[in-house]
Chain A
Amino acid sequence: MAHDQSYKDRKFEVVGNRFKRPDGVEKVTGKARYGADTFAPGQLVGRILRSPHAHAKIKKINTAKAEKLPGVKAIITSKDLPDLTNGDIGLQNILENCMARGRALYDGHAVAAVAAVDEQTARKALKLIEVEYKVLPHVTDVDEAMKPDAPLLHDWIFTSGVDPKPTKPSNIAGRTEMGNGDVEAGFKDADVIVEKSFKTGQTHQGYIEPHACLASVNPDGSAELWVTTQGHFSFRNTCAALLGLDFAALKTTSSEIGGGFGGKTHVWGEPVALALSRKANRPVKLVMNRDEVFRATGPTSSTSIDVKIGAKKNGTITAASAELRYQGGAFPGPWAMLGCMTGFACYDIKNMKAVGWDVVVNRPKSTAYRAPSAPMAAFAIESTMDMVAKEIGMDSVDFRLKNVAREGTRAPYGPIYGPIGIEPTLEAVRDHPHMKAKLKKNQARGVACGFWFNIGGQTCTDLNIGTDGTVNLTVGTVDVGGARASLAMIAAEELGVPYDRVRVNIGDSASLGHNDTTEGSRGTFSSGMATIFAARDAIDVMKERAAKMWDIPVEDIVWENGVARATGKKHGNLPTLSLKEIAAKSHNTGGPIAGHNEITADGAGNGFASHICDVEVDPETGAARVVRYTVVQDAGKAIHLDYVEGQFQGAAAQGIGWALNEEYIYGEDGRLQNAGFLDYRIPVCSDLPFIDTKILEIPNPNHPYGIRGVGETSIVPPLAAVSNAIANAVGVRMTQVPMSPQRVLAALDDLDNAS
C-alpha cells in the first residue's frame, strides 16, 4: 500500500511536548531487565579465553586439563564454529573475529571459550586451557601499517579502488576518492592556503552496560537468544547464519539496552554463547567484563588526516582537499569512506577532493561509534577552517556562513541537498547570547560545525487496539533512550487518544518482520514513520467498523481527533463514535482492530549542528576544561523535547571526552595499556558544565511529521570546537586529539621556545 510520506505542515497536539516516559518507573526502581539481568533454568556461565598477543600464530590449543575440571560442561574453539559462510567475506570476518581461526589478530582476540556451572569454575577452567602461540610481528598505528614493509595482517587484502590492481597484498584495504571541480586550479585562485596534518586517538563508545547475552540451543535446532543489542533482527540473522540455524528457529529478544552508540550493532560473544550452549545442551549466560569490552569489542578508528584549504581574501573557499587514513582494526571497514563523505558536507565548495584510505592493524575490529568517522574528519577540517579564517582576518562564523551549503548545493557524496539546516544553525550560533558572554582569564571561545547523514531502512510495526480503547504499539527498533515515549506520542497524535493510552513494546524477532538495526539515528525517524502509517491503517479499519455500526457507507465517515464522524447532510446528526466505543464493539463488527506497516523508510533528512564551546586552559598544567557549551542542531521536528535535548547533550559530552581525555594507548608489545574506566577516562559529572541546547526545526520533507534523526550529529563538532577554543585561549593549534594536559603543555613549551 502506498502511503503519503511527505511532510504536511500540521498542528500538533501531543508531539513536541515533554511526557513522562512509559518505562520510567521500571528503570528507576531497578526492575528493568538489561542484558545481564535474566536467568534460565539450568543456566551455565560462559567465559572467553583471549589472546595476550597483538599478533600470533595459534599452534596448538590443549583443552584436556580444563575438560577434566568438575563442573565444566563445554569447551569450544574455532573447530566448534565451522565455516558455513559460503565465501561471504563479510560474514567470514565476523566469524573469525568472534573466535580466532589459527591466528590471533589483536590483544583480546577470542581463542577458546568455556561453559561451567559457576563463575569460579569457569575462570579456573580458562587457566587450564593451554595455548601454544608463535608470536608474530604486529602493527597498531595507521601510518605505520601503510608502509610497504609493515607486518602483514591478511594475505587476501589487495587494495581496492586503485588502478592497476596491486599484485601484492597489503594492509591497505581500499582507497576512496570523491569530489568535484578542479582542485589544482582552485588552489591557484586562492589568496591564502592553509595545510595541516592531524591525528586522532582511538576511542570507545563506553556504554556503561557491558555486552551480555543468554543463549539456549536445543538439539532439534530451535534456539533462543536474549541479548543487549541495537539490532536483534540482524543479530538473529548473523548468529543463525554462523551456526547453521533457521532464522525462524532462533528467537531473539532484545533486553533493555544500557547504551550502545553503535557499539552494539555488531555480534561479538553471541555466536560463542550459542555454540557453547549447543555443545553443553544447556542455556549459557555470557557477560563481558569491562576489560573485555575495551580489548575485544568495536571501538572507533584512530586516524591520520591531512587537510588543505584555499580561500580568497573575501572569504570564498576556492579549493579544499583532504587525505584521510582510518584504521579499522583487524578487519576492513568503510570508515575512511565515511570520513570522505562527511568532512566537507557543511560547505559549498566548487573545487573539492577527498581521498580516503581504509587500513587494517592489530587492534580490535572497529565498529560504528555515533556518526562514525565524521568527528575525526570534522576535527581536521573545522580546525583548518578556523586557521584560514584567521589568516584572512575574518570572523570564523562569518567565514563559515560565507561558504555554507544550502538547499541545491551538491553534497560531497553526490546528491543535491534538499532543505537543510546548516545555515540556520550557524546564524543561531552567531546570534546566541553565549557568543557575547564575557570570558575570564585564560578562557576563550571556539565554534565548529558538524554533519551526519541519518538513515532510514527496513521497519515493521504493529499497532493493536484493545477492547477498552487502549493501544499496544509493537516496534522492532530498540529503545536506546526514550524511544518508547516518542513513539507513544506519535501514535497518540495520529489516533487522537491521550498519550497514556498507548503502551509501546519492543517486539522480539519472532513477533515482527525484519527491522534493520537501530543505528544511523533511525529509531524515531523510521519507527515513527511506520507508527504513523500503522495508525492510519487502524483508523481505516475503525472507519469501516463505524460504517457497520451506523450502517452507512464508509466514504461518508471521517476520522477526527480520536472519533469517527459521519459527514454529509444525510448522517450529519449522528453522534460521533470514539475509538473506545468502536473498540468495545469490535467483537461484533469483525474482530480485533489492528494496524500494520512494513516499509523501507526512505528520505532520512540530513542532520547539521553548530556548537559553541568556552574553555579555560591552565597554562601551568596544560589542562583544558570546558566551562560553557551550547549545542544548536536541526531536529526537523522534535517529538519529545527532553529526549532530543538529551541526545544533543550526551553526544556533545562524548565529543568533549574524545577531545580532551579519551584514547586507546597501546604499548610497544601491542597490548592495550588502559582497558578500564580508571585509565580510559570518560567525562565525569564534575568535568562538565550544563550543556545548553537550542533545537531548530527545519522540516524534513520526506517524513510525514518532518522528523530528522537527532542522535548522532552533535558528537561531530566538539573535537574542533574545543580545539578552536584552545587555540583562541593560548595561541597554540593542537593537531592531535585527545588534547591532554601533556600535549597542550608540550605545545605551549614549543611556542615559548619558538618566541
Chain B
Amino acid sequence: MTDSTLVSTTINGDSIEFACPNDETLLDALRNRVGLTGVKEGCGTGDCGACSVTLDGRLVCSCLVLGVEASGREVGTVEGLTTNGELHPLQEKFIEHAALQCGVCTPGFLVAAKALLDKNPDPSETEIRYALAGNLCRCTGYDKIVRAVQATAKDMRKAKKKKG
C-alpha cells in the first residue's frame, strides 16, 4: 500500500475529510473518494480541461494536482455551481444554446467559463476563445459554447446593472 494522508478540505463550501494515497491526483480523489464524478478525466495529462476545478478560486486541472494538496484549501467543482437549487446562468445558457452535445466536456467548460467571467465580466470573442483554449470539445466545434458564454456575460452584466 502507498502511504496515505488524511486530507481536510472544503469542497463546494462543505468541510470534507478523506484519506488519500500520497501519489493520488485530486481528480481521482474527487471522483473515487468524494464521489464527485462531475469532474471528468479526458487525458490525465493536463491537455483537455475536462477535469477543471478551482483551487482557492484559481482554475486548475485537477489531474495535475495531488489530492493531498487540497488540504486546508477550497475546491470548487461543477457540482457547486448550482445554488439553492438554481442553475448558474452559465448552466442555463449552455442548455438554451445547445452548447453541449455529448456533454462530457461541459463540466470543465462551465468551471473554466465561470472562472473567466468572475475575472472579466465583459470578454471579447477572442478573450473567450483563448480563456477556453485549455478545454477540448470534440463535438461542437465550439461555436455554440462561445455563444453561450457571450450570452451569459451579457445577461449577467444586465442583471448587475439592474441591481445596482
Contact = CB atoms under 8 A, between A and B. Distances in A.
A691 B141 contact: yes
A688 interface: yes
Interface string B54-95: 000000000000000000000001110110000100010011
B143 A25 contact: no
B143 A691 contact: yes
Instruction: Tell me what chain A mostly uses at the interface: helix, strand, loop, or mixed.
Output: loop
B98 interface: yes
Contacts of A210: 41-42
Nearest to B80: A30
Contacts of A258: 40, 102-105
A85 B143 CA distance: 46
B153 interface: no
Contact of B136 (A24, A208, A261): A208
B37 to A, nearest CB: 4
Contacts of A287: 41
A688 B44 contact: no
Interface stretch (A90-98, A180-188, A235-243, A648-656): A648-656
B106 interface: yes
Contacts of A654: 138
B103 A36 contact: no
Contact of A686 (B82, B133, B147): B133
Contact of B78 (A25, A29, A646): A29
B100 interface: yes
Contacts of B138: 205-208, 259, 261, 650, 654, 682
Most buried by B among A31, A259, A691: A259
A688 B106 CA distance: 18
Contact of A209 (B31, B91, B95, B102): B102
Contacts, number: 184
B82 to A, nearest CB: 6
A28 B95 contact: yes
B21 interface: yes
A30 B98 contact: no
A481 B136 CA distance: 16
- Chain B facing A: main interface SS: loop
Nearest to B131: A685
B87 A29 contact: yes
A309 interface: no
A260 B104 CA distance: 11
B104 to A, nearest CB: 3
Interface residues of A, number: 57
B157 to A, nearest CB: 21
B159 interface: no
B104 A290 contact: no
Contact of B102 (A18, A33, A207, A676): A207
B102 to A, nearest CB: 5
A119 interface: yes
Interface residues of B, number: 61
Contacts of A18: 98
Interface in A31-45: 31-34, 36-37
Contacts of A481: 101-102, 139
A256 interface: yes
A585 to B, nearest CB: 36
A167 interface: no
A257 B105 CA distance: 11
Interface in B111-137: 126, 128-130, 132-137
Nearest to B96: A20
B158 to A, nearest CB: 21
Contact of B145 (A27, A207, A645, A685): A685
A688 B42 contact: no
Contacts of B87: 25, 28-29
Given A37-B37, A210-B41, A29 B81 contact: yes
Given A258-B103, A480-B101, A481-B102, A29 B38 contact: yes
A633 to B, nearest CB: 14
B129 A20 contact: no
A643 interface: yes
27 contacts: A23-B103, A24-B100, A28-B78, A30-B37, A37-B37, A120-B24, A205-B138, A207-B102, A208-B42, A208-B136, A209-B42, A258-B40, A259-B102, A259-B138, A290-B48, A642-B98, A642-B144, A646-B141, A653-B141, A676-B43, A676-B47, A677-B43, A683-B141, A685-B135, A685-B145, A688-B129, A690-B143
Given A258-B105, A482-B101, A685-B128, 11 more contacts: A20-B95, A27-B100, A28-B81, A34-B104, A642-B98, A646-B140, A650-B101, A652-B141, A653-B141, A677-B47, A678-B45
Interface of B: 1-2, 21, 23-24, 28, 31, 36-45, 47-48, 50, 77-79, 81-82, 87, 91, 94-98, 100-107, 110, 126, 128-130, 132-147
